[in-house]
Structure 1
Amino acid sequence: MRLSYYFLPTLKENPSEAQIISHRLMLRTGMIFQASAGIYAWLPLGTRVLRKIEQIVREEQDRTGAQEILMPTIQSAELWRESGRYDAYGLEMLRITDRHDREMLYSPTAEELVTDIARKHIKSYRDLPRMMYQIQWKFRDEIRPRFGVMRGREFLMKDCYSFDLNYEGALVSYRKMLEAYIKTFSRMGLTAIPVKADSGAIGGDLSQEFQVLASTGESLVFYDQALDSIVKNKGEVDVNRLMSLYAAEEGLHDPQKCPVPEDQLKTARGIEVGHIFYFATKYSDAFNACVTGKDGETIPLHMGSYGIGVSRLVGALIEANHDEAGIIWPESVAPFIVGLLNLKPGDNKCDTLCEEIYHKFLNQGIEVLYDDRNERPGAKFANMDLIGIPWQIRVGTRTMETGQIEMKCRRSGEIQELSFESALTSLKKRMAT
């Protein structure tokens, strides 16, 4: 993509309405545009990051055997009355009346609808287990939307639902999701600690939140230091070990009852990005969602719910990956892998070489943003640092003299001179791992 044609409305100054780093940087880099309070349009740069995150989430869900569906954002109030949550949910639910005076709502979550699907189509123990997920927009009418996409009213969420014959089966599904979440966040370069949590309005007996560790996090998390090595591991996850280790938020942490020795207990700030629940037969009882067992008995479905805030993760990633110059994207979620900078636009040799390099990247399947604008080098450097592309390839007068390009690592700040072919080989190796 050529920057001269790319819609990237960056800002030089911090917007006055943005209170936290991720909100400031998302506005400054032109990732989002505020449409109204707590509601944002996602512009090209932000959309690319959102889709990268979405794809990682999708791949790890698929590996568990969960199957993707898509449910409507507008749901019937009657379904929610069956569960008893239509009135109980409170003012966060956006209620709507259609032209026929039917009461509808903009979905804040989808337990009711997915249970309705299950009760009509899952009839026998032979149909179990089942897991279904969607990546869909939700709406919760926050009284004070703030912090940009971290606490907006409209948000993109992955919500998965499991259906099992009994507690033992439900626990298998829960453990699969627990492992999938660790792998998902690890692939994004995040340290996410699963902590004991309150089930809230959804209900449930077993519940854990995933807190991404970041110095700017709004929650204080206490956890066994042994968790560090597990959640950062990109290989197999020891689920038994993971579930045995202590982690809790400040409100649920009791120093007197904490099983972890003081010298092994760590504290950190965290940002909630996911939540998993097992809620037994709470919804299947309300909806009479049952299957026929081996001996002909009627058995209510055991269910679990597993959410990841996909759009919220964009903000969390920035909170955990930034410096004074701007964003530092992990390669797995970066909008582009390479930023190609033409430091002498208008010079025939430099323009020709940059075009050659640009097309070589494209032919190798490497996502590149080519800054071909007639701007000063300093402005181009600052812009690339701001939007956080992992690698910068700089081509200028010195390149014409030595045949060497400059390659800058955004995260470390290290700049090295090497041939373009060496740079290309290095990037291809990184993409292959």
Structure 2
Amino acid sequence: MKASQFLISTLKEAPADAEVVSHKLMMRAGMIKKIGAGVYNYMPMGLRVIRKVEAIVREEMNRAGAIEMTMPVVQPAELWQETGRFEKMGPELLRIKDRHGRDFVVQPTSEEVVTDIARQEIKSYKQLPKNFYQIQTKFRDERRPRFGLMRGREFTMKDAYSFDRDVDAAKASYQVMAKAYRKIFDRFGLTYRAVAADSGAIGGDLSEEFQVIAATGEDAIVYCPGSDYAANMEKAEALAPVGPRADAAQAMSKVATPGKSTCADVAEFLGFSLSSSIKSLVVATDTKDEAGNIIKTQVSLLLLRGDREMNEVKVGKLDGMADFRFATLAEIDEHFGCKPGYLGPIGLKKPVRLIVDREVALMSDWVCGANEEDYHLVGVNWGRDLPEPDLVADLRNVVTGDLSPDGKGVLAIERGIEVGHVFYLGTKYSRAMNATFLDVNGKPQFMEMGCYGIGITRLPAAAIEQNHDENGIIWPDALAPFTVVLCPISPDRFAAVKEAADALYETLLEAGVDVILDDRNERPGAMFADWELIGVPHRVTIGDRGLKEGMVEYQHRKDAASSQVALTEIAGLIQSRLKA
């Protein structure tokens, strides 16, 4: 490609609404143009990156035995109603009607449609396993689209769905995809981690996220430097504390804590460690009848150490705690007779379910609210001052320095950007949609499913968040819009420069190198600034002075300075670096 034939539309400044680095640089480099909130045109330079992402994903998916197909962006609501997601998914699901008043959705994902395909096409165990995938446009009506392609409304995703005859076969298919994903992300040339994850609203048990490491990432990734343990914050655990619990050393007493309603304030006021205090959180779960009316409410008191934070995902997975909510002020007053800030498990007006974190269950002589404004209890102990809890569980977020659950060191935390996710779904969708096959015994069985996604358009943004400097983007070779740029200096004035640039361009093209020749006759400073902003990894500068000595200048985008290379050797050097 020659620059004069291409569209290069760089900007000196990013638009005012561009917040994160990737958004700013993609806009400045002319890769995307905003057309509406969370909706972008993919300009030629950006589309080249996206196509390279797609090519790598497609090659590895095909190599892993997946079968490509395309499912519609607009899907009939009837399929989504079969699984209940038409009603449950919330406002992120864009619902529309056609001219006849029939309901449709603009797909954010395609479990329903692919399950419908499977139940029509797969009749026998002999047809299994199968894995169907697509690279297709998705739409999620984000409340607040932001950060460019990081959290847009319209995006491109690769989503794949496996179908198997039993759990063991489904887990084998999952492992095939997990291995393929590692190959994909290795080929991208990015630093990433595969971490154990919670399956979230999509359902399932076995789940991993693929996170590109970046300081600006939204997700906290927990890992052990001394082992292979890695999980996202929702899933991560520390090594369980062990007993025995220390014997009580203090008598319980009520002390005045005027105006001190937080654990930190109480600890400072009374002069003890924050880790000796207990945080009281009141939650509720509602039982509803078929009409959706609340027929029973269970109020629970969660106790965590004062220096810990509750992990809502862990709490929601406890027995009886699905769809929990925080209690209302009226419910708190009904059960505790006190406002938040002074709550505790002793002296309740009405009984509650008492759920405590594993650490709290082993504590002695702790401090909690007295259920009386401006007062707390000190020297509280299990057994003596209150009965043992109803349930002991891991309720908290881990912190840096916690012991790894595999016992091989301490945990560290870094930031990441989720760009891929693999799930084992089981029969969540096949059961809801009656997707069965005849097994070897001639009896119908529900298909076991897996789900595997990669954010195609999100990945370039994540790559930029990880790889940039003050001058612009620094692409890995595999993702760059062009791998090599040739920059001739004043080719209109020096025929030898133009001739050498054209010859090198043809040589690299014939060798299969993705090269662009900047034939725009721009000033060197402006030309270099464009390509540093765009982030092309390899740059060759051809000038009249160097050519007189048979030399050109080579500079990698990460290099601080260029180096002199013989014109006769530059093509070989570039090819060897690309192979490396």
Q: Normalising by the residue count of structure 1, what TM-score does the alignment of the two structures yield?
A: 0.93
1:276-295 superposed matches below 5 A: 276-295=422-441
Distance 2:169 2:29 in 1: 46
**Which residue of the partner structure matches residue 426 of structure 1?**
573
Answering whether residue 159 of structure 2 is matched by residue 163 of structure 1, we say no
* CA deviation profile, 1:173-226 (whole Å, cap 9, x unmatched): 110111111111111112222222222221111122111111221111111335
Distance 1:283 1:275 in 2: 18
Distance 2:547 2:181 in 1: 48
Query: Which letter does structure 1 place at the counterpart of 2:79?
Result: L
Evaluate the alpha carbon distance shift between residue 432 and residue 194 of structure 1 in structure 2; reply closer, same or farther with a 3 A threshold: closer
Answering whether residue 534 of structure 2 is matched by residue 387 of structure 1, we say yes
1:306-385 superposed matches below 5 A: 306-347=452-493, 348-385=495-532
* CA deviation profile, 1:22-48 (whole Å, cap 9, x unmatched): 000000000001010000100011000
Distance 1:146 1:381 in 2: 30
Distance 1:400 1:419 in 2: 9
Answering whether residue 238 of structure 2 is matched by residue 255 of structure 1, we say yes
Report the Cα offset of residue 54 of structure 1. Answer: 0.5
Report the Cα offset of residue 271 of structure 1. Answer: 0.4
Report the Cα offset of residue 108 of structure 1. Answer: 0.5
**Which residue of the partner structure matches residue 38 of structure 2?**
38
Query: Which letter does structure 2 place at the counterpart of 1:372?
Result: D
Distance 1:225 1:137 in 2: 38
Distance 1:32 1:334 in 2: 15
Answering whether residue 413 of structure 2 is matched by residue 267 of structure 1, we say yes
Could you say what secondary structure the match of 1:45 adopts? Answer: helix
The answer (yes or no) to whether the contact 2:197–2:234 under 8 Å persists in 1 is: no
The answer (yes or no) to whether the contact 2:198–2:234 under 8 Å persists in 1 is: no
1:33-432 superposed matches below 5 A: 33-225=33-225, 245-257=228-240, 258-261=404-407, 263-347=409-493, 348-432=495-579
The 10-residue stretch of structure 1 (317-326 or 412-421) with the greater mean CA deviation from structure 2: 412-421
Distance 1:337 1:88 in 2: 46
Query: Which letter does structure 2 place at the counterpart of 1:374?
Result: N
- Between Structure 1 and Structure 2, how many residues are aligned? 416
Distance 2:466 2:482 in 1: 19
Query: Which letter does structure 2 place at the counterpart of 1:145?
Result: P
Query: Which letter does structure 1 place at the counterpart of 2:195?
Result: V
Report the Cα offset of residue 116 of structure 1. Answer: 0.2
**Which residue of the partner structure matches residue 17 of structure 1?**
17
Distance 1:416 1:430 in 2: 14
The answer (yes or no) to whether the contact 2:226–2:408 under 8 Å persists in 1 is: no
The answer (yes or no) to whether the contact 1:278–1:304 under 8 Å persists in 2 is: yes
* CA deviation profile, 1:204-253 (whole Å, cap 9, x unmatched): 111221111112211111113356xxxxxxxxxxxxxxxxx422222333
Report the Cα offset of residue 414 of structure 1. Answer: 4.4
The answer (yes or no) to whether the contact 1:345–1:373 under 8 Å persists in 2 is: no
Report the Cα offset of residue 399 of structure 1. Answer: 2.2
Report the Cα offset of residue 4 of structure 1. Answer: 2.5
Which 5+ residue runs of structure 2 have no aligned equivalent?
A: 241-403
Distance 1:158 1:413 in 2: 37
The answer (yes or no) to whether the contact 2:237–2:405 under 8 Å persists in 1 is: no
Report the Cα offset of residue 345 of structure 1. Answer: 3.0
Query: Which letter does structure 1 place at the counterpart of 2:567?
Result: F
The answer (yes or no) to whether the contact 2:508–2:515 under 8 Å persists in 1 is: yes
Could you say what secondary structure the match of 2:496 adopts? Answer: helix
Could you say what secondary structure the match of 1:4 adopts? Answer: helix
Evaluate the alpha carbon distance shift between residue 262 and residue 128 of structure 1 in structure 2; reply closer, same or farther with a 3 A threshold: closer
- Detail structure 1 runs of 4+ shifted over 6 Å in the superposition: none
Query: Which letter does structure 1 place at the counterpart of 2:537?
Result: P
Could you say what secondary structure the match of 1:285 adopts? Answer: helix
Distance 1:421 1:428 in 2: 13
Report the Cα offset of residue 112 of structure 1. Answer: 0.2
The 10-residue stretch of structure 1 (37-46 or 364-373) with the greater mean CA deviation from structure 2: 364-373
The 10-residue stretch of structure 1 (190-199 or 21-30) with the greater mean CA deviation from structure 2: 190-199
Query: Rg bigger for which structure?
Result: 2
- Indicate the structure with greater helix content: 1
**Which residue of the partner structure matches residue 235 of structure 1?**
none
Could you say what secondary structure the match of 1:46 adopts? Answer: helix
Report the Cα offset of residue 349 of structure 1. Answer: 2.2
Distance 1:222 1:313 in 2: 21
Report the Cα offset of residue 432 of structure 1. Answer: 4.0
Distance 1:326 1:26 in 2: 9
Report the Cα offset of residue 400 of structure 1. Answer: 2.8
The answer (yes or no) to whether the contact 2:555–2:563 under 8 Å persists in 1 is: yes
Report the Cα offset of residue 291 of structure 1. Answer: 0.8
Query: Which letter does structure 2 place at the counterpart of 1:267?
Result: I
Distance 1:168 1:261 in 2: 28
**Which residue of the partner structure matches residue 230 of structure 1?**
none
Query: Which letter does structure 2 place at the counterpart of 1:342?
Result: P
Q: Note the aligned Cα RMSD (angstroms).
A: 1.5
Distance 1:72 1:402 in 2: 60
Which 5+ residue runs of structure 1 have no aligned equivalent?
A: 228-244
* CA deviation profile, 1:238-269 (whole Å, cap 9, x unmatched): xxxxxxx4222223333353414574533211
The answer (yes or no) to whether the contact 1:125–1:294 under 8 Å persists in 2 is: yes
Query: Which letter does structure 1 place at the counterpart of 2:549?
Result: T
Could you say what secondary structure the match of 1:392 adopts? Answer: strand
The answer (yes or no) to whether the contact 1:123–1:291 under 8 Å persists in 2 is: yes
Report the Cα offset of residue 431 of structure 1. Answer: 3.7
Query: Which letter does structure 2 place at the counterpart of 1:259?
Result: P
The answer (yes or no) to whether the contact 2:193–2:212 under 8 Å persists in 1 is: yes
Query: Which letter does structure 1 place at the counterpart of 2:471?
Result: A
The answer (yes or no) to whether the contact 2:552–2:565 under 8 Å persists in 1 is: yes
